């Protein structure tokens, strides 16, 4: 590494999404100082944290890791993985660690690995709650002790400090539990004296790989080069390019405030950030500042079990039914409630009308020539969910709405069997900030030698 620059190779937006090997080889040829990847997100919802499962496939994650680990070992540079297994709980970390161990055995690799865990005990959260150190993230409500007790798993989003500590032992691989997305890309550079504002901003873009390029893709490689006063972005695929507009647009991604981006221990101030074109394919960013926060807070993510789901999917083509779909579905709900006395959750998702935005849909009077309908039932056990879903589907299928001409077939059912048991349902129970005195204390580190 040159003293005045630090190169970070980001292969893909999520470990397991894949990337072209040709792009990756181009990145390796540029001799990066770090290979880093984000492996998780809350975007797929609470199920995966609750179930302890990954939302990416094992074979896809293994393929990506084989290329990344091989390159990191060849270049003798660190490889850092954030939010292992998609959600970063202990089960997800163990799942990813097993894949790494398997690759090491198959390839004959030997290296030092640091594993950082992010699980938080209920007792720790209850103690913080009682001390007034837990506050909601909008639009989450205040929580009570019952919400904590009902949670299946709770993780905290680590900042850079646990990675700093893990890196002190010189590991080749750092495997992180739940992690602030930019941290795997930024932490080693900050340790070497680079500006944390620029490092975190670079990490904010690199964690999504080539999504910030044009045309964007989460499945392609990017090289970010950090300098003392700026950073540069370069696509490793000749079909993509970084422009000031594409880079600035992505800086606004997942942000409610265009000028400030909060994270563990502080926030990015983007008021003076500049986006410039280096040439037709590369962009430069400067001016971003990091503002430390006092007190230091980490985000908690917790989920509770909410029941079992069954669904049925159908299509509606009759314009007479489409014209009165809201009232018909309300009447069907009433019939089901009267017949079953059920307190189970029954939802209708009407695609082509308001299936995406629900009550917030502004186009309330626009009618489609066809509608897609998802019947969803959530109950206390799978058998009950299946039974209610079956009853709702059959009731609607033969419901005699005003003006009906045919005597059956209100729904064109997509599948046979028509009713699909979906299993466990989880809900976010905790999506809150917790004040901490020590940003490392919640995140234990284990160091091990991997390989034969």
Tell the burial category of 97 from Cβ atoms under 10 Å away from its Cβ (0-12, 13-18, 19+).
buried
Question: What residue ranges of the chain have pLDDT lower than 50?
Answer: 1-2
Q: Give the per-residue pLDDT at 3.
A: 67
State the DSSP H helix or E strand holding residue 77, giving kind and residue range, or none if neither: none
Query: Edge-to-edge strands of the sheet including 260-263?
Result: 260-263, 266-269, 289-292
Q: How far apart are CA 398 and CA 409, in angstroms?
A: 7
Tokens 């579905």, residue located: 329
* φ, ψ dihedrals at 88, nearest 5°: 80, 10
* CA separation, residue 105 to residues 74, 75, 80, 415 (Å): 17, 20, 20, 43
Q: How far apart are CA 401 and CA 403, in angstroms?
A: 6
Reading the block at residue 343, the tokens are: 């307190």
| Torsion, CA 241, CA 245, CA 247, CA 252, rounded to 10 | -150
Is beta strand 173-176 parallel, antiparallel or unpaired with respect to 111-116?
parallel
- Size (the chain), residues: 452
3-state SS record for 193-241: CCCHHHHHHHHHHHCCHHHHCECCCCCCCEEEEEECCCEEEEECCCCCE
Closest C-alpha among 101, 90, 94 to residue 66: 101
How far is C-alpha 425 from the geometric centre of its chain's CA atoms?
18
Are 442 and 298 a contacting pair, CB within 8 Å? yes
Q: What is the C-alpha end-to-end distance of the chain, expressed in Å?
A: 30
Closest C-alpha among 5, 340, 377, 47 to residue 192: 5
CB burial string 420-441: b at 16+ within 10 A, e below:
eebeebbbbbbbbbbbbeebbe
Q: What angle do CA 256, 11, 162 make, to 5 degrees?
A: 65
Question: Domains of the chain, with CATH numbers?
Answer: 5-118+157-293 (no CATH), 305-428 (3.30.70.600)
Reading the block at residue 148, the tokens are: 């904590």
Please give the model's pTM, rounded to 2 decimal places.
Answer: 0.94
Q: Give the per-residue pLDDT at 322.
A: 95
Q: How far apart are CA 365 and CA 77, in angstroms?
A: 59
């Amino acid at each position: 590494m040159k003293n005045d620059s630090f190169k970070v190779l980001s292969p893909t937006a999520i470990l397991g999404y894949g990337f072209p090997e040709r792009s990756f080889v181009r990145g390796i040829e540029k001799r990066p100082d770090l290979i880093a990847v984000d492996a998780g997100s809350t975007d797929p919802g609470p199920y995966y944290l609750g179930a302890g499962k990954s939302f990416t496939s094992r074979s896809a994650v293994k393929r990506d890791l084989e290329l990344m680990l091989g390159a990191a070992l060849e270049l003798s540079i660190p490889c850092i993985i954030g939010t292992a297994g998609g959600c970063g709980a202990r089960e997800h970390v163990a799942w990813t660690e097993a894949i790494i161990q398997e690759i090491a055995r198959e390839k004959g690799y030997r290296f030092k690995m640091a594993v950082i865990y992010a699980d938080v005990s209920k007792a720790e959260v209850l103690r913080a709650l009682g001390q007034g150190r837990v506050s909601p993230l909008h639009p989450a409500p205040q929580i009570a002790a019952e919400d904590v007790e009902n949670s299946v798993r709770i993780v905290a989003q680590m900042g850079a400090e646990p990675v700093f500590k893990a890196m002190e032992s010189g590991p080749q691989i750092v495997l992180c539990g739940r992690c602030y997305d930019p941290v795997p890309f930024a932490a080693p550079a900050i340790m070497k004296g680079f500006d944390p504002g620029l490092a975190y901003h670079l990490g904010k873009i690199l964690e999504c790989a080539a999504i910030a390029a044009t045309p964007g893709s989460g499945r392609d490689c990017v090289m970010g080069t950090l300098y003392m006063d700026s950073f540069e972005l370069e696509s490793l695929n000749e079909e993509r390019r970084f422009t000031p507009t594409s880079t600035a647009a992505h800086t606004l991604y997942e942000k409610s405030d265009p000028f400030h981006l909060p994270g563990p221990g502080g926030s990015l101030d983007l008021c003076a950030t500049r986006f410039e074109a280096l040439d037709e394919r590369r962009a430069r960013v400067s001016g971003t500042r990091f503002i430390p926060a006092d007190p230091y807070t980490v985000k908690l993510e917790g989920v509770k079990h909410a029941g079992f789901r069954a669904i049925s999917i159908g299509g509606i083509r009759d314009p007479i039914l489409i014209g009165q779909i809201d009232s018909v579905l309300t009447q069907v709900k009433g019939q089901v409630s009267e017949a079953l006395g059920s307190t189970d959750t029954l939802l209708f998702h009407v695609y082509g009308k308001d299936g995406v935005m629900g009550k917030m849909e502004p186009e309330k009077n626009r009618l489609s020539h066809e509608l897609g309908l998802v019947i969803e039932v959530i109950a206390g056990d799978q058998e009950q969910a299946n039974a209610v879903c079956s009853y709702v589907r059959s009731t609607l299928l033969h419901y005699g709405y005003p003006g009906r001409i045919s005597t059956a077939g209100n729904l064109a059912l997509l599948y046979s069997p028509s009713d699909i048991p979906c299993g466990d349902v989880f809900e976010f129970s905790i999506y809150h900030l917790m004040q901490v005195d020590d940003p490392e204390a919640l995140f234990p580190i284990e160091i091990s030698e991997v390989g034969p």
